[in-house]
Structure 1
């Protein structure tokens, strides 16, 4: 294992692009596998502490703790690759790093759900390559979809929310669509994260000529407040929001606006 880690770490700094790409990918996948083993050991240790008598539990705990310490040292060595290669000139390498970091956060949040790793994702939201930005957005969707993780994302949300709100304007269509879907998750799971001004700007995307983005914006609009009773209209402080509520909400017969129906029925 030591030899493999040393080899991959060294090749990740190679001047040859093919070596950098392959070694970075291998190192990322290796760390993902190490995390899986560590999680299994954590579970086994917990079960041992509950099921075995005191003496056997103590001995088993020592052996497991030793293996956990070994894996932790390996994890620290390999994760240095992700911190170095997230600024690699090859976009595929940067995208791989972002994809794996997001995977680690979801798999082992106790170790990775902190600003030390989240900041790399936030920085790469400004990457010049759409592929990298897209990987960040897809990874963040997986994180923001889990309410138990969202409560620990306050610092990241406050720091990078404005950037995410601006991303439906991205020149890459797929990035724009996934940004809108991420904002929908943030709106659902993060209380008051989006201001009235943010929402007013996002609602306007239902009129865009790019249909997938218009559909995503229509879903955002519906889930944001159209599904609420019509009597709630006056709880919205913004005149624009109240007007859009009148234009798009259920009428007296319970029939939705034709425009919204057409948007959401042809995905």
Structure 2
């Protein structure tokens, strides 16, 4: 194992693009398998602690820790060389595998030593790399038991994630909105009122998948509120959209004011049901 990993690590630093890509892919997949073995060993070791004598447990723990330290050093060598590689496919592979390690074995990998690479690559120039980061983060933020350990990462990279629905790549924008929806659901008040106002306006974007994702974000955000609050919000959102349309077709003097427009609207709050609100957000 040591010989194979040393060979792949050396090739990952090769001047030949094909060698770097193939060796990095092989090394990351191999290390992902090692993570699975590591997890099984850790579980077995935990169970064995209940069965073996104190002295045997202590000696076995030292030997296991030595082997795990060796594997960690090898993993670090591959990770640090490859995540900054000039080939976007290699960087994307690294982000995908790091995400799978964190989800599979959070006790060992859900820490700043690994999360920082994911956060840095959110700024990558290639959409493929940014997309892999977002997909990996979705797997983490969807699990409530892991969210409490993401406070440092969330505070550091929240502003970047909030800006990513504006990404020039459509798929990156959609996945960023889905990640923000998970953060809104599982991270309390991490998104400010200003953040949410900006995200709500994506329901009017011409890119349909992003508009649908924004509508789902809006719907889940307001589903638990009283009907009066929802009606007020829908009216405000409709006014923003209508004001923009009228400004295109008429001069500023002929556009009615917000007060004049709202005077002509009358809502029966009792008639607004959850099903109708769902239709509003998905239409």
1:63-120 deviation line (CA, Å, top 9, x unaligned)? 54454444444444444444xxxx2111111111111111111122222222222122
Displacement of 1:230? 1.8
For 1:189 and 1:244, how far apart are their aligned partners in 2?
A: 37
Displacement of 1:226? 3.4
Q: 1:96 to 1:221 in 2, by over 3 A?
A: same
**Worse-superposed segment, 23-32 or 248-257:** 248-257
Indicate the SS of the match to 2:175.
Answer: helix
1:38-83 deviation line (CA, Å, top 9, x unaligned)? 111111111111134556655655554454444444444444444x
The alignment's C-alpha RMSD in Å is 3.9
Alignment of 1:216 onto 2:213? yes
Task: Answer yes or no: is the 8 Å Cα contact 2:79–2:94 preserved in 1.
Answer: no
Task: Answer yes or no: is the 8 Å Cα contact 1:230–1:249 preserved in 2.
Answer: no
Indicate the SS of the match to 1:72.
Answer: helix
For 1:210 and 1:173, how far apart are their aligned partners in 2?
A: 8
1:122-171 deviation line (CA, Å, top 9, x unaligned)? 12111111111111111111111111211111111111111111111111
TM-score w.r.t. structure 2 length? 0.78
Displacement of 1:231? 4.8
For 1:99 and 1:92, how far apart are their aligned partners in 2?
A: 10
Task: Answer yes or no: is the 8 Å Cα contact 2:219–2:278 preserved in 1.
Answer: no
Q: 1:240 to 1:251 in 2, by over 3 A?
A: farther
**Worse-superposed segment, 101-110 or 39-48:** 101-110
Task: Answer yes or no: is the 8 Å Cα contact 2:12–2:78 preserved in 1.
Answer: no
Aligned partner of 2:258 in structure 1 is: 241
Aligned partner of 2:244 in structure 1 is: none
Q: 1:70 to 1:258 in 2, by over 3 A?
A: closer
Q: 1:257 to 1:147 in 2, by over 3 A?
A: closer
Task: Answer yes or no: is the 8 Å Cα contact 2:35–2:105 preserved in 1.
Answer: yes
Task: Answer yes or no: is the 8 Å Cα contact 1:28–1:97 preserved in 2.
Answer: yes
Q: Which runs of 4+ in 1 moved over 3 A?
A: 52-82, 231-236, 239-264
For 1:130 and 1:261, how far apart are their aligned partners in 2?
A: 32
Aligned residues: 259
Task: Answer yes or no: is the 8 Å Cα contact 1:226–1:248 preserved in 2.
Answer: no
Which one has the largest radius of gyration? 2
**Can you give the 5+ residue segments of structure 2 that lack an aligned partner in the other structure?**
234-255
Q: 1:243 to 1:60 in 2, by over 3 A?
A: farther
Q: 1:66 to 1:262 in 2, by over 3 A?
A: same
1:176-220 deviation line (CA, Å, top 9, x unaligned)? 111100000111111211110110111111111111111111110
**Worse-superposed segment, 223-232 or 167-176:** 223-232
Indicate the SS of the match to 2:168.
Answer: coil
Displacement of 1:28? 0.7
